[in-house]
Structure formats: C-alpha cells, structure tokens
Structure 1
Amino acid sequence: MTFLVRTKRKISGLLKVLFKKRTCRIGIYGPPNAGKTTLANRIVRDWVGDAVGPVSEVPHETRRVRRKEDITITGQNGSSITIDIVDTPGVTTKIDYNEFVEYGIDKEEAVKRAREATEGVAEAMHWLREDIDGVIYMLDSTLDPFQQVNIMLVGIIESRKLPVLIVANKNDLPDASPARIKSAFPQHPVIAISGLEGNNVEELYEQMTSYFG
C-alpha cells in the first residue's frame, strides 16, 4: 500500500470521527415522585427491552443519576433519534430524613437516605450544567405546578438554552389537570401522559424525534 493511500485512509477515518453526530443525552428532571423513573423504564423497555431502575412510593427512591445508552426511538412518520436516557433524582429545595421515617424506615437508614438524596440532587444539577442536551421535565398533573422548585429548574434549563418537553404525568388519575400545567409553562410544549399506564406515550415519542432530533 502506498504512502498516499494510507494517508487518505487515515484522513478519511479521522473525518468520520470528527463529524460523527454525538448521541443526544436527554435528562428526565422534575420534583420527587413525579414519575421520572417510571417514564425512563417505559422508554427503555419499549425500545430496548430493559429497565433503568426500581420505582417506589417512598420519596427519593432514585438517589443517584442513572443512564441508559444508545436507545433509538422511531416516530410514526419514520423519523428517529438515538439518545441516552439520564434518569435523575427528584430535585427539591430541602430533603428531611423525616420524609423517610413517615414510610416506616428507621431513623439511621432515613438519615443515610436523606444524605444520599441530597448528594444525588447535586449530581443531577452537575449533569444539567455539563452533560445534558435536552430535558424532559416531569410534573405530576394532580399537583400544583406553581412551586418554587419547578420555576427554578425550568428557569435554569431555559438559561442553558436547552430544548425542554414538559410532561404532565398521571393523566389517568381523576384529579389530573394537564391544562393547569400548560397555563404554568405556556412557552414550552406540554404532553399529557400516564407513564404507568402508557397513555399517550406514542405522542411523546413522536415529539421527541422531532424536538430533540
């Protein structure tokens, strides 16, 4: 093989590496118990047959950032996107160990969980600042969206100029009000789903392929 051919191949390989599109990292953010891990598990199971992690009615079950890579989602119109799903701990302004005690967890374990959850929130915010390309912001549509943590987090996401889809979760419940979430954040697309039941997740996938693609 001549020197010229070898050089051309090396340059060609280098260009492929340099111009290869990086997988889009989509972070699922929101307050505790909004259904972030439930949605992450549904996305991963629907497209790769796996799961991200356990869910629980106990707050702050997710206390560390968890990531699943190379998930290709295809919309009904044939468009697709390959993403890494980043499931994050519920972000809140304060984590009290008594939140765990209320669920029958002993004090020592509750204090440990509260400390881990606090560290997890810091880790989630680091990811948001450094490693996230787009955000699915999860809200429980049975609760008031006009809360300090939601206003703060959406503001941080906007300051980073990240695309954000707001998901009004738990629309299978009788007191769900996605309209209330739409009125709170009219500047962003809002999709009402049930992560648990799978209601309307196809629309979410369609939006993800176009919005994050």
Structure 2
Amino acid sequence: MGLGSLFGRFFTGLFGKKKNLRLGIYGPPNAGKSSLANRISKDWLGEEISKVSHIPHETREVIVKEKITVKSKGKELTFNLVDTPGIATKIDYEDFIKFKMNAKEAKERAKEATKGVIDAIKWLDNMDCVLVVLDATINPYSQVNITIIGNLAARNIPVLIVANKIDLKKSDVKRIEAAFPQYPTIGISADKGTNLEAFYDELFKLVKQ
C-alpha cells in the first residue's frame, strides 16, 4: 500500500480511552516540528526531546514527552506532547544520497521514514489537539499540507497552524493564513524563540475548543 493511500484511511479505536490531553505536532519534513517540540519542552521542563537536522526525516519515530505544564497569565495547561515524523506522500532513498549517505544508509533511512509516516498517521486518532507546523518560507499549497489539513478536518480535531521560520526574509505568514483560513495561524521562530508568548496564548485557546 502506498503512502498516499494511507492519508484517506481512518484508524479509530486503536489506542483506547484517552487518559491525558495529547497535543500532537504534525507537518511536512523540515518544517521545524522537532524544533518546536524542543522549544516547548525546554521552556517548561528545561530539556530537549528530539534531534534536529537539515537532512529530511531526522525524526522517524513518534516521540512522547509526558506532563508538560505551560503557564500563561495565571493559567496552567498540562499535556503530553507528541512529536511526529514528517508527513510525506513519497519517500525515495535517492533523496538521502544527495546528503552524502551511501546507498545502504539511504535505503535504511527511507525505510524507517516510511514506517514513521505510517505511525504518525495512526496516531492522528489519538490526538486531542494538533499543531500543524509549516515552513513560512515555502508555498503552503502542497499535496502533503492539504492532505494533512483534510484529515484533521475529517476527524474534527482542533488545529493551530504554526507558521515557523519567521526570522527568515522569505517568510510569509499571510500566505499560509490565506491557504487555510478555517484555522488560526500564528507566526513564530522555534529556533530563535520569536513570538513564543503569543504562541502560548493561542495554545490555550486551542485546547478550549
């Protein structure tokens, strides 16, 4: 079964009854999902949870950090943070060879990345809320982005779109807002920590939905 066909499937009931609020981080590869997960975890727990790299699909397994408590304006929010592998409709090992991997390493990474995408999709029905992280320097009208948003809408999961990398000159938050007007969008730089206070305010609003 191809990766593309997996997007249309529903995986209800896989994880049983929810006991804790689960906040998922989704998006395409290299949008800054793990950078945001690290920023949140470091802000409130003092430690990072994920590796980051310029090579796509650095995160190839679902990573869960439990009981993160965020405080903002006298309010508290506790959740389990779920950092997921980058979603892609096609993963070709030759793409990794461009990063000076040998064929064996590239094929293994592609295999692990493919499994990671499948696992990320399975976890969708286990999410209470989702942050969709998009690279604000890239055109958001892609098959992957539209499919992610469509699957979340079908599941009626509350969504906050995070337009990341606003510290870069080519970033365009308004373009992302125009692409997905049905959801709130907040521009940040997970790497630089820009606009994080506004992000946490939006996070509280998201959970109330």
Give TM-score, length-normalised by structure 2. Answer: 0.89
Map 1:44-59 onto structure 2 (within 5 A). Answer: 44-59=41-56
Q: Matched residues in 2 for 1:114 and 1:31: separation?
A: 15
Q: Please say if 1:39 is aligned against 2:36.
A: yes
The match for 2:21 among 21, 24, 39 is 24
**What RMSD, in angstroms, separates the aligned Cα atoms of the two structures?**
1.0
Distance 2:85 2:151 in 1: 16
Task: Give yes or no for the alignment of 1:69 onto 2:66.
Answer: yes
- The answer to whether the Cα contact below 8 Å between 1:79 and 1:210 also exists between their aligned partners in 2 is no
**75, 78, 82: which one aligns with 1:82:** 78
Contact 2:24 2:82 in 1 (8 A): yes
Task: Give 1:22 deviation, angstroms.
Answer: 3.8
Whole-Å separation in 2 of the counterparts to 1:90 and 1:65: 10
Q: Indicate whether 1:120 and 2:116 are aligned.
A: yes
Asked if 1:108 corresponds to 2:143, the answer is no
Moved over 3 A (4+): none
TM normalised by structure 1 equals 0.88
Q: Secondary structure at the match of 1:212?
A: helix
Larger radius of gyration: 1
**Residue-by-residue CA offset, 1:7-40 (whole Å, 9 max, x unaligned):** xxxxxxxxxxxxxx94210110000000000000
Which structure 1 segments of 5+ residues have no match?
Answer: 1-20
Distance between the aligned counterparts of 1:125 and 1:101, measured in 2? 26
The share of aligned pairs that are identical, in percent, is 49
Corresponding pairs, count: 191
Structure 2 residue runs without a partner (length 5+)? 1-17
**C-alpha deviation, 1:210, in angstroms:** 2.5
Please tell me whether residue 152 in structure 1 is matched to residue 143 in structure 2.
no
